[in-house]
Structure 1
Amino acid sequence: MTAKGEQRKFSLKRGFSFFWKSNLALLIAILFLYINQSSWSKEGAPLILILALVWEVLILFLCLIGCLKKQEG
């Protein structure tokens, strides 16, 4: 058990908080891109999918970093 004031070195709660907020931002960005879908070329949709997948990998990596405790001083 840890004391109330002491934080654990690894916390999924901190990481999950970042994960859902960043995925919400990614979803909003992709929805804005799909608003103007009618003016895209036919090759545009796979590029948006690749963009989303690359950003999702980055979000997962940053989520793991976000689970770690901040270094003090």
Structure 2
Amino acid sequence: MANMMSQMPLPRLTKSNYDNWSIQMKALLGALEAWEVTRDGFEEPEDTTGYTAAQNKALKETRSKDKTALYVPSS
């Protein structure tokens, strides 16, 4: 991920390019596997007691995708 982001210029949002910018950001976040969490949102569960190993793994992956989406700068 870091290598991919360091090689590609990030799209810059201006007053006149929202349509193009949003398409580029959707593609970028999709490539980083973070689009779904951006689109659907993520709420940290209050209690994970009783989670199975698979549920904990899925939660960890979703947290990672959420942090990736939050990290990607928009300008």
Q: TM-score, normalised by structure 1?
A: 0.41
Write 1 or 2 for the structure with the bigger share of helix: 1
Greater radius of gyration (CA) = 1
